[in-house]
Chains A and B, each alone.
Chain A
């Protein structure tokens, strides 16, 4: 089945540690996105990528980094500069940047130890 796979489901970060969240899609979509969701809140855009080797900052990019070396993969690194990383992280993709029908992964819950 085609879809988006996020791993791990749960992740714990120690103080001062960088952690990387995985996002893989086999939908052959050009565009991919990362969102952050805090409890009881909506989604906020962290980064998005319209095509391989290109990505743009979203509304809350500080303390995060991404790469897009392959069409299928868009990993998100939560750096030690992100002082409040505890949140639910969601990855999504769309056929292209102009397509507003998004397909989401099942999310990664990141917590700080």
Chain B
């Protein structure tokens, strides 16, 4: 399994960019990196995923290093509603039952 390592918690000021790091040094060549977030007392929400190239959608950007051993999720203009636990996940083989939602990073956006 490609284990991921994330900081336990982070803070960011409202309106600034929030950069959430994730290490996945044992990732293999065909494994994707997925990001989800979970707002308190709600179900997780898919944010973005990528393989090699940087990805951007309406929610965030995903930057994956060239060696693919780490990635950064960027929320370009954080708002208070972005306060949540963010999960970085690398499923070992194709199949959603292999998604492991660990402890994640608790991101707090401060006014």
Contact = CB atoms under 8 A, between A and B. Distances in A.
Interface of A: 4, 31, 33, 35, 41-43, 45, 48, 56, 58, 88, 90-92, 94, 97-107, 109
Q: Tell me the interface secondary structure of chain A in the complex.
A: strand
B43 A106 contact: yes
Interface of B: 32, 34, 36, 41-46, 49, 87, 91, 94-104
A81 to B, nearest CB: 23
Contacts of A109: 41
Contacts of A92: 43-44, 96
Given A48-B97, A98-B95, A43 B49 contact: no
B102 A42 contact: yes
A60 to B, nearest CB: 13
Contacts of A58: 97
